[in-house]
Structure 1
Amino acid sequence: MNQDYIKPDNWSIIEEGFEKERVKSSESLFSLGNGAMGQRANFEEKYTGATFQGSYIGGVYYPDKTKVGWWKNGYPEYFAKVLNAPNWIGINVLVNGETLDLNTCKNVADFRRELNMQEGWYTRSFKATLPNDTLIEVKITRFLSLDHDEAGAIKYQIKAINQDSVLAFHPYLDSGITNEDTNWDDQFWNTTGVTADGSQAFIEAHTMKTNFATCTFMESRLYHNNEVVLEKPLEALSETTAVHQYKKNIKKGDTLTLVKFGGYTVSTNHKPKELISAAKKVLQKVTEIGFESLLELQKKSWAKIWEMSDITIEGDVKAQQGIRFNIFHLNQTYLGKDSRLNIGPKGFTGEKYGGSTYWDTEAYCIPFYMATKNKKVARNLLTYRYNHLEKAIENAKKLGFVNGAALYPMVTMNGEECHNEWEITFEEIHRNGAIAFAIYNYYRFTSDYTYIPEMGLEVLIGIARFWHQRATFSTQKNKYVILGVTGPNEYENNVNNNFYTNYIAKWCINYTLQELQKVKDGYPDDYHRIIGVTKLSEKETEAWAKVAKKMYFPFDEKLGIYLQQDGFLDKELIPVKELNQKERPINQKWSWDRILRSPYIKQADTLQGFYFFEDHFTTEELEKHFDFYEPFTVHESSLSPCVHSIQAAKLNRMDQAYAFYLRTSRLDLDDYNKEVKEGLHITSMAGTWMSIVEGFGGMRILDDKLSFSPRIPKQWKSYSFKVNFRNRILKVKVTENETTFDLEGTDEMSIRVNGKRVVLTAGQKTYSLVN
């Protein structure tokens, strides 16, 4: 049974009623972020119930020493941990001497949370009867500024309902925090300074080992019935906390409000000795703007984001809420401003997966950012990988590869591999292919070729060298094989000749050879520079080509399908539908031994290859492989439903495509995997966007032009989306009866619709197609 407490709404995530067992899940769902920092939706006031405290700063991490029972050569020395950063949102509240704590209140009524995705703010309200029988009404509004991304703001209002009261606000900073996720319970932070200056306070702290220096700061103002209270707060400082104490007698019916600004300045953006002065400048800016005006700026900034990235769905509120939730969190996590940052699978919502970069970015996220932003954002994501090329070469060298072969990490913060499961670290090498595919995909979509001679070709050469060395010549098969791998289906480890891995390896080599020739012909200066740096020879490229030409792919003639890997048909092929539902999900109910011997597929594997390289296969081949593999797929990866939704739509199986879409779009809202309390599935949210644009909209790039094959689920009256294709904005709207295309700007644009060439003229009559 999936959770169903989130109220359906087009633009907001809404929870009504206070249930203690839902607190951790809601802390994830209502998380805030602005691309530079983020935080779970923890209560500002004291809460003694079960909670998962989390505030995070982009790019700040700790190298937690790997914890394994048996060390293997080549093992990563550490598993990166995204760090719970010093807390700036805290505001303890005392009412007639009693601490406000929803866990101990006699009664909590009218509890409501709302995450307004359209405008980028979060609010929480309730009435609470404290143990001393004082009744108060509380409303809190919070947001993290997009315009001033080192700062956030909180407005905390309390109304005395049943009696005159003495209210006290204790806004605080706290660096004495711990991580939910830690290997050895190490101390991650060292606090070096706690200071207060009037209504401002600062905590200086740095991370152990990595030495990221931070200043956590706050400034508060008190208002009585909207009139500012000019009293200076009392200070209470300790080794790890800075507390300001405000106290006020108020009449029954009066309101006392604390406005608190806070945030972080970090040594990645400022000199370590100037963090406090930088924080004071931030505070000066945001306090001069004021809470309400800063909130208005927030609304305008989000309106600008939604103008390009929104997808509208008419006739299905849950589907509409789902896609906007996904788009909202993608934009909260990454806005493309800083090429040093990337998109962690949990973003700023939790600590699982180390908050690090996975192949998810290249395989799932880049298409979203290319189509809804300008090309610079996607280019920054590719620049991130180029900047880590030397580390990728180091990673391969640790595993015995030579001559500049590059193995990009499965999990990374700084380019080093830091995943601590051997079957992932050593075997899930297909991630290398996703990096190369993203380079190809970027040029295909943006037509910006400059990345390849400037940076990308060196990345491709390192990857091609890896595949050449990783392949083994089998005299028995007279083919090159790739042994001992884990494909995208992580429910199979240490297999031979995983189809997807072998296929993308062959493609990577051929693509690199193609781009070498293009750069040689068109960018001779870059070509000679790259050859000089890489020491690449014709003899070496001939050896690559031989591997690609003679790559082995397991194939069953009787079924007419490529096998996921050697021996797949030796398994007991019982489809998922025949499994006892009480044994699902199998990753929580079965032993690993049983999973490995089963035919069950965690996520698209062979079909991932058919997704990336759809134009290499016929629709009939896709159908045959989809019909064989999908019945064995348990979709216990967040990355699985979107690929299957896109392919089901391609096959015009709209009921199935819609079911997969709903699962990917509401994966967290409905908690399909029973783990939302650990954080959200940020990278798979880009797959939700693809499910609509590439799935239902049928968007492809064919013969260097946008192509559409629009379809619509029967549950919807219409849907619409925009794409930025080579600096031309195209709006597509699909209804039950027709599809319309509107082009912004001044240039013409040629597209294909259901195989037919259509020329669009900007600002003129909409092109309509009868469905």
Structure 2
Amino acid sequence: MNQDYIIPNEWSIIEEGFDTTRVKSSESLFALGNGAMGQRANFEELYTGPTFQGSYIAGVYYPDKTRVGWWKNGYPEYFAKVLNAPNWIGIDVWINNEQLDLYRCTSIEDFKRELNMKEGWYTRSFTATLQNSVKIAVEVTRFLSLSTDQVGAIDYKITPVNQEAEIRFEPYLDAGITNEDSNWDDQFWQVTSVNAKGSQAFIEAHTMKTFFSTCTFMETQFIKDGEKASGEPSVTKDDKSVRFSYSAQAKKGETLAVQKFGGYTVDRNHDKDQLVTSAKAVLKEVTTKGFDQLLAEQKQAWAEIWKMGDITIDGDVKAQQAIRFNIFQLNQTYLGTDASLNIGPKGFTGEKYGGSTYWDTEAYCIPFYMATKDQGVARNLLTYRYQHLGKAIENAEKLGFSNGAALYPMVTMNGEECHNEWEITFEEIHRNGAIAFAIFNYYRFTGDYSYIPEKGLEVLIGIARFWQQRANFSTSKNKYVILGVTGPNEYENNVNNNWYTNYIAKWCIDYAVEQLDKVKEEYASDYARIFKETKLTQGEIDQWKEVADHMYFPYSNEHEVFLQQDGFLDKELNPVDQLAMSERPINQYWSWDRILRSPYIKQADTLQGFYFFEDHFTKEELKKHFDFYEPFTVHESSLSPCVHSVLAASLDDMEMAYTFYLRTSRLDLDDYNKEVHEGLHITSMAGTWMSIVEGFGGMRVKDNQLHFSPKIPKEWNSYSFKVNFRDQIITVSVTKEGASFNVEGDQELTLVVDGKEKHIAPKEKMSI
């Protein structure tokens, strides 16, 4: 049974009624971010019930020493932890000297949360009766500014309902925080100073080992009768925290409030010795504007994002809410302004998985950012990997590879591998292929070839060298094989000849050779530079070709499908529909031994290859593979349903495509995998966008032209989306009667719709 308490709404995530068992899940679902920092939707005031406290700063991490029972050569020394940062949102509240704590109140009425995705703010309101019988109404509004991304703002209002009461607000900063996710319970932060002056406070602290220096800051204002009260707060502080205190008598029905601006300055963006000075400058800027003006700027900034990024759906409120939730969270996590940042699988909503970068970025997120932003955003994501090429070569060297072979990490913060599960770190090497595919995909979509001679070709060479060395020749098969791997399907470990891994390895080599030839012909000076720097020889290139030309692919003549891996047919091939729902998800009910012996597929594996390389296969081949593998797929990876949705749509199975769309889009809202309390699945949210644009819309790029093959689920009346294709904005609108296309700009565009070329004049709407 999935959770079902989020109220359907086109533009907002809404929860009504207070339930202590939902608090941690809602802390994830109502989380805020602005690309530079983020936080779970923790209560500002004290809450003694089950909660997962979390505030995070982009790019700041701790190298938590690897914890394993048996050390293996090549293990990463550490697992990078996304760090719970000092807490700036806290506002303790006292009513007639009794502390407000929703876990201990005698009654809570009219509890409501709303995350307004259109305008980028979060509000919480309720009426509570404390144990001292005082009844109060509370309304809190919070947002993290996009216009000034080092700052967030809180407006906290209290009104006594049944009697006069003394109200005391205690806004505070607290650096005495710990991580939910920690290997050894190390101290992650060292506080160096705690200071307060007037209505401002500052805590300077640095991370242990990595020595990121930060300043957590706040400025507060007490408001009575709608006016800012004069006088400074009283201050108490210790070696890790500082708090202010404001108190006043409030008549029945009278509202008192505290407004709080807070956030972080970090040495990633400022000089270490200027963090407090920079914080003061930021505070001056936002307090001069005030809460209302900063909120107005927030609404405008989100309006600009939605102008390009929105997908509209008519006739299905749950589907509409879901796609906007996914697009909203992607934009909260990464806005493309900093090439040293990336898209973490939990974003700013939790700590699970560690690290900031998986292959998810290249396989799932880049298409979303290419089509909904300026192409420079996607280029920054590619540049991120180029900057880590040296570390990728080091990672390969640690495993015994040589000559500039590059193995990109499964999990990383700085390019160094920091994932320490054996079957992932050493075996899930298919991730290298996604890095190369993203380079191909970027050029295919944007037409910007300059990235390849400038940066990308060196990455492709390192990856080709890795695949050539990782394969070995099997005399019995008279082919090159790749042994001891884990494919995207992590429910099969240490298998031989995973089809997807072998296929993408061959493709990477072929693509690298093809680009070498193109750069040699068209960018001679870049070619000479790269050839010299990489010490490449024609003899080595011939070795690559030998491997690619003679790669082995397991195949079943009986089923007429490529086998996921050599031993797949040795399994008892019982389909998923024979599994009892009480045993799902199997990763929470079965032993790992039982999972590994089962035929069950965690996520699209062979079908991931068919998604990437659709043009390499016929529709008939796709259908055979889809029909064979889908019945064994349990979709217990967040990355699985979206690929199946796109492929089902291309096979005209719209019922299945829609089912998978709902699953991928409402994965967190409905908590399909029973783990939303740990944080959201940010990177898979890009797959939701793919399900509509590439699945239902049928968008592809072939031969330098944009193709569409629009379809519509029977549950919808219409839908529309925009894509930025080579600096031309195309609006696609689809109804049950047909589709229309509109091009912004001043140039004619040729589209291919359902296989037929269509020429669209600027600002002309063409209906089909």
Name the TM-score, length of structure 2 as normaliser: 1.00
**For residues 582 and 127 of structure 1, what CA distance do their matches in structure 2 show?**
39
Q: Calculate the aligned-residue CA RMSD, in Å.
A: 0.5
Does structure 1 conserve the Cα–Cα contact (< 8 Å) formed by 2:355 and 2:411?
no
Does structure 2 conserve the Cα–Cα contact (< 8 Å) formed by 1:465 and 1:544?
yes
Cross-structure match for 2:138: 138
> AA paired with 1:705?
Q
Secondary structure of the 2:378 match is helix
Q: How far is the alpha carbon of 1:624 from its aligned partner?
A: 0.2
Cross-structure match for 2:723: 723
Deviates more, 1:226-235 or 1:671-680: 226-235
Cross-structure match for 2:279: 279
Does structure 2 conserve the Cα–Cα contact (< 8 Å) formed by 1:746 and 1:762?
yes
Cross-structure match for 1:767: 766
**For residues 249 and 427 of structure 1, what CA distance do their matches in structure 2 show?**
65
Summarize deviations over 1:603-625 as a string: whole Å, max 9, x none.
00000000000000000000000
Cross-structure match for 1:522: 522
Aligned pairs (5 A) from 1:537-556: 537-556=537-556
Secondary structure of the 2:353 match is helix
Cross-structure match for 2:218: 218
**For residues 328 and 254 of structure 1, what CA distance do their matches in structure 2 show?**
36
Does structure 1 conserve the Cα–Cα contact (< 8 Å) formed by 2:355 and 2:418?
no
**For residues 43 and 33 of structure 2, what CA distance do their matches in structure 1 show?**
16
Summarize deviations over 1:26-84 as a string: whole Å, max 9, x none.
00000000000000000000111110000000000000000000000000000000000
Cross-structure match for 1:62: 62
**For residues 64 and 355 of structure 2, what CA distance do their matches in structure 1 show?**
13
**For residues 259 and 658 of structure 1, what CA distance do their matches in structure 2 show?**
44
**For residues 658 and 763 of structure 1, what CA distance do their matches in structure 2 show?**
32
> AA paired with 1:768?
S
Q: How far is the alpha carbon of 1:726 from its aligned partner?
A: 0.2
**For residues 442 and 225 of structure 1, what CA distance do their matches in structure 2 show?**
56
Deviates more, 1:522-531 or 1:302-311: 522-531
Cross-structure match for 2:127: 127
**For residues 547 and 197 of structure 1, what CA distance do their matches in structure 2 show?**
68
Cross-structure match for 2:686: 686
Summarize deviations over 1:716-737 as a string: whole Å, max 9, x none.
0000000000000000000000
**For residues 170 and 582 of structure 1, what CA distance do their matches in structure 2 show?**
47
Secondary structure of the 1:615 match is helix
Cross-structure match for 1:449: 449
Q: How far is the alpha carbon of 1:763 from its aligned partner?
A: 1.2
Greater than 4 Å deviation, 4+ residue runs: none
> AA paired with 1:534?
T
Q: How far is the alpha carbon of 1:356 from its aligned partner?
A: 2.0
Secondary structure of the 1:202 match is strand
Cross-structure match for 1:628: 628
Aligned pairs (5 A) from 1:700-715: 700-715=700-715
**For residues 158 and 584 of structure 1, what CA distance do their matches in structure 2 show?**
44
Aligned pairs (5 A) from 1:70-149: 70-149=70-149
Cross-structure match for 2:259: 259
Cross-structure match for 1:173: 173
Cross-structure match for 2:429: 429
> AA paired with 1:386?
Y
Residue identity (%): 71
Q: How far is the alpha carbon of 1:325 from its aligned partner?
A: 0.3
Summarize deviations over 1:150-185 as a string: whole Å, max 9, x none.
000000000111111111110000000000000000
Secondary structure of the 1:366 match is helix
**For residues 644 and 299 of structure 1, what CA distance do their matches in structure 2 show?**
35
Is 2:390 the counterpart of 1:390?
Answer: yes
> AA paired with 1:312?
T
> AA paired with 1:7?
I
**For residues 711 and 414 of structure 2, what CA distance do their matches in structure 1 show?**
42
Summarize deviations over 1:113-134 as a string: whole Å, max 9, x none.
0000000000000001111111
Does structure 1 conserve the Cα–Cα contact (< 8 Å) formed by 2:172 and 2:242?
yes
Deviates more, 1:221-230 or 1:332-341: 221-230
Cross-structure match for 1:404: 404
> AA paired with 1:746?
D
Secondary structure of the 1:320 match is helix
> AA paired with 2:451?
Y
Q: How far is the alpha carbon of 1:583 from its aligned partner?
A: 1.1
Cross-structure match for 1:601: 601
Secondary structure of the 2:707 match is strand
Cross-structure match for 1:658: 658
**For residues 325 and 580 of structure 1, what CA distance do their matches in structure 2 show?**
31
> AA paired with 1:695?
G
**For residues 163 and 745 of structure 2, what CA distance do their matches in structure 1 show?**
62
Secondary structure of the 2:354 match is helix
**For residues 428 and 620 of structure 2, what CA distance do their matches in structure 1 show?**
29
**For residues 683 and 763 of structure 2, what CA distance do their matches in structure 1 show?**
35
**For residues 233 and 462 of structure 1, what CA distance do their matches in structure 2 show?**
59
Does structure 2 conserve the Cα–Cα contact (< 8 Å) formed by 1:646 and 1:694?
yes
Cross-structure match for 1:46: 46
> AA paired with 1:555?
Y
Cross-structure match for 2:470: 470
Does structure 1 conserve the Cα–Cα contact (< 8 Å) formed by 2:44 and 2:90?
yes
Secondary structure of the 2:128 match is strand
**For residues 358 and 184 of structure 1, what CA distance do their matches in structure 2 show?**
24
**For residues 355 and 593 of structure 1, what CA distance do their matches in structure 2 show?**
27
> AA paired with 2:167?
L
> AA paired with 2:766?
Y
Summarize deviations over 1:240-299 as a string: whole Å, max 9, x none.
001011111121111001000000000110111100000000000000010000000000
**For residues 667 and 602 of structure 2, what CA distance do their matches in structure 1 show?**
15
Deviates more, 1:206-215 or 1:247-256: 247-256
**For residues 356 and 31 of structure 1, what CA distance do their matches in structure 2 show?**
17
**For residues 641 and 719 of structure 1, what CA distance do their matches in structure 2 show?**
20
**For residues 466 and 190 of structure 1, what CA distance do their matches in structure 2 show?**
40
Provide structure 2 residue ranges, at least 5 long, that are not aligned to the other structure: none
Does structure 2 conserve the Cα–Cα contact (< 8 Å) formed by 1:347 and 1:355?
no
> AA paired with 1:484?
G
Q: How far is the alpha carbon of 1:355 from its aligned partner?
A: 4.2
Aligned pairs (5 A) from 1:221-260: 221-260=221-260
Secondary structure of the 1:531 match is helix
Cross-structure match for 1:295: 295
**For residues 731 and 461 of structure 2, what CA distance do their matches in structure 1 show?**
38
Secondary structure of the 1:137 match is strand
Name the TM-score, length of structure 1 as normaliser: 0.99
**For residues 727 and 745 of structure 1, what CA distance do their matches in structure 2 show?**
9
Provide structure 1 residue ranges, at least 5 long, that are not aligned to the other structure: none
